[in-house]
Chain A
Amino acid sequence: DIQMTQSPSTLSASVGDRVTITCRASQSISSWLAWYQQKPGKAPKLLIYKASSLESGVPSRFSGSGSGTEFTLTISSLQPDDFATYYCQQYNSYALTFGGGTKVEIK
């Protein structure tokens, strides 16, 4: 199975900061990568698919990049609503796999 490694596991930041989260795949997954946001007690929400495509309705401060084995999620200017946990997921092949998550906390 393809392993997905996210870093950092926790990130402390302030409103207005630029935030970058990294996800690495154990083998090439082309651009078959998604990013999700999850808040406590809620279902995950799709932010980015195919590595860099913004899901409809998601603010443009979210962006994704990368291909092959290295990917990043960037929040250009962190807003109060963005404090949450973020997960990457590869869907190149079964079994699909998630990264371990990155919790973005208030500094």
Chain B
Amino acid sequence: EVQLVESGGGLVQPGRSLRLSCAASGFTFDDYAMHWVRQAPGKGLEWVSGISWNSGSIGYADSVKGRFTISRDNAKNSLYLQMNSLRAEDTALYYCAKAQSGRLSASDYWGQGTLVTVSS
């Protein structure tokens, strides 16, 4: 059974940093691309960042480019999102999602999310 478990969320002050993690199990992690998607309270889905199976292709939404860094450790079956210079508008539930293939594709499995609140 595919499982994606996010962690690392919490309350953080504007301008500070946070690192999210996603622990994956139930599939061959290094065969698949992975994504981070967020959802602000009461709002729609926003794709944040994606990474190919071998980290050779990485993309970011304009809203986080230069502040967030996605990475993966295939040996640990883990996905990460380093978030720097956090802003109030980064407040959201952050989902980790598995892609259908090693490259750009739809997301067929999602975690339950970790909540990030940016506030002083």
Q: Is B one of A's binding partners?
A: yes
Residue A25 at the B interface, CB < 8 A?
A: no
Segment of A14-22, A42-50, A67-75 in the binding face: A42-50
Complex contacts, A104 vs chain B, CB 8 Å? none
Is the Cβ of B61 less than 8 Å from the Cβ of A95?
yes
Residue A60 at the B interface, CB < 8 A?
A: no
Residue A23 at the B interface, CB < 8 A?
A: no
Is the Cβ of B106 less than 8 Å from the Cβ of A89?
yes
Is the Cβ of A43 less than 8 Å from the Cβ of B44?
no
**How many of chain A's residues touch chain B, expressed as a range?**
20 to 34
Is the Cβ of A101 less than 8 Å from the Cβ of B45?
yes
Complex contacts, B106 vs chain A, CB 8 Å? 34, 46, 49-50, 89, 91
Report the bound CA distance from A97 to B46 in whole Å: 7
Per DSSP, are chain A's interface residues mostly helix, strand or loop, or mixed?
Answer: loop
> Which residue from A45, A49, A89, A95 sits with its C-beta under 8 Å from B62?
A95
Contact A49:B100 (CB < 8 A) given known A1-B62, A36-B45 = yes
Residue B47 at the A interface, CB < 8 A?
A: yes
Residue A98 at the B interface, CB < 8 A?
A: yes
Is the Cβ of A38 less than 8 Å from the Cβ of B107?
no
Report the bound CA distance from A16 to B111 in whole Å: 32
> Which residue from A43, A46, A85, A91 sits with its C-beta under 8 Å from B113?
A43
> Which residue from A1, A34, A94 sits with its C-beta under 8 Å from B50?
A94
CB distance from B37 to the nearest CB of A (A): 8
**B residues engaging A (CB < 8 A)?**
35, 37, 44-47, 50, 57, 59-62, 95, 100, 104-108, 110-113
Extra A-B contacts (7), CB below 8 Å, given A43-B95, A94-B50: A32-B104, A43-B112, A87-B44, A94-B60, A98-B44, A100-B44, A101-B45
List 7 tightest A-B contacts by C-beta distance, closest first: A94-B59, A34-B106, A43-B110, A49-B106, A96-B47, A101-B44, A98-B45
